[in-house]
Amino acid sequence: MPHVRRAEYPKVNSSYNLEYVEVIHRHHKRTPYAANTFPVEAYPWYCDNEALFYYGAPLPTHCANHSANTYWSVYTSSSNPLAPRGFNGTCQFPQLTRGGLDDSWQHGKDLYGVYHDLLGFLPEKYDPNLVSFRVTNNVITSQVASMVTSGMFGGEAQQNLPLLVQPASIDSLEPAYTCLAANNNFSAYGVGSSDSGWTSHLKAASDLYANLDTICGIPPTDSGFHMSFDHYFDNLSARLCHTKPLPCNASNPSLCVTQAMADEVFRLGQYEYSYLYRDAGARTLEYSAASFGIWVAELAQNLRHAMHATDSASTGNRTSSGIRYRHSIAHDGSVSHILSILQIEKMVWPGMGSEVIFELYKRKVDQKYYIRVLWGGQVLKSSNPTLGVLNMLQVEILVAYFDGLVGQRAMKIPSLCSL
């Protein structure tokens, strides 16, 4: 997906100083989830060209016992009579692929090319006092982070580098905290609901469903594949992202999913995300604000801290955190929620690596703060008249908007979530 790169970056004029940057993006490409594979897959999927490491080590490492760099190697046993669902081969489903690792490294290199090489904002070497990385409890995000940080800081990233992660039960980035009211709201209009705005496209696509089910061996009663196009979308897009052929029927290899059918699945998937996060009306904002409101409150507080730290530094009295670049690696749901909260003018299903960046500037002439939000490397346009084109908006307007939705330090979330 498009992201910030030096060649296309819309540089702000010299009357502003960049003071703080916060990045959130979806992880990069992976194999499909096992639940989204078909009962019988016609070809295997191998991941022998990468290693995903799982190990622990004592800290500090000096004078401590050293650990081996261990990684998983997927295999099947000749003594195990059971076949895995979906693809044979040497991959987990899901797992980050070699292509996803390389894309992650390039993403980091491109960010560094803008925020260090072009703007001189990032330090040349990794500095934990200035730069922070955060992941979710899903290991895919940590695997992406290992490549992003290497793409940004090269050999410096080979040192032990902390990735911030919140407890799984209250993680605001995934998000994973309990919010019953938001779930009930979503259930009334979204996936699995009887809301006509949701079910109409599923009924209209009945012929497409019938053809896909026949080719792919999916029972028409499989609710996972028929409550939305999520499963088919994930399966088909993962193949095409890795230059693999579209599937054919296991018994009749001449009966195959065509590119036109795949494109129709992708179009309907885009419709679904637009409906779920924008087009179903005010309830989409209510759902996203409650579900992702803690992360939004954290962002607002980070902006306050950044302004206070800058002002304190200018008077020689720095008292707040000196972090000036925060980078969160998350999921399509995370990015969808923030786009929904910003009421993006044109909602899409965030692809692999999709990125939203918040840039905080200080204008030299009046020492006031302004915010710019980039989506896909370009200025984000909101349909909310208070936000509009998010290009050098007074930061107080955006922070007040966030506070109005979720409260400072997310104080409204317990009541919004019926906790």
* Averaged pLDDT, groups of 10, the chain, 419 residues long: 94 97 98 96 95 90 86 92 89 96 98 98 96 97 97 80 97 98 97 96 98 97 97 98 97 97 98 98 98 98 93 56 94 98 98 98 97 98 98 98 98 94
pLDDT of residue 64: 82
pLDDT of residue 246: 98
pLDDT of residue 316: 55
55/70 Cα distance (integer angstroms): 6
pLDDT of residue 85: 81
Using alpha carbons, list the distances in angstroms from residue 88 to 41, 43, 93, 212: 8, 7, 10, 21
Residues 6+ apart with CB under 8 A from 276: 186, 190, 191, 284, 336
**Where on the phi/psi map is residue 34: left (φ > 0), alpha (ψ -120 to 50), or beta?**
alpha
* Amino acid code (one letter) for 284: T
> Cis omega (within 30 of 0) on the bond before 162?
no
pLDDT of residue 7: 96
pLDDT of residue 195: 96
46/61 Cα distance (integer angstroms): 35
Closest to 349 in 3D by CA, of 237, 214, 219, 185: 237
* Amino acid code (one letter) for 350: P
pLDDT of residue 225: 98
Burial string for 126-151 (b: 16+ CB within 10 Å, else e) reads beeeebbbbbbebebbbbbbbbbbbb
pLDDT of residue 312: 67
55/69 Cα distance (integer angstroms): 6
Closest to 389 in 3D by CA, of 404, 405, 376, 373: 373
DSSP-assigned letter for residue 386: T
pLDDT of residue 319: 44
Helix, strand or coil for residue 378? strand
Helix, strand or coil for residue 3? coil
pLDDT of residue 236: 98
pLDDT of residue 315: 54
Closest to 248 in 3D by CA, of 59, 41, 408, 102: 41
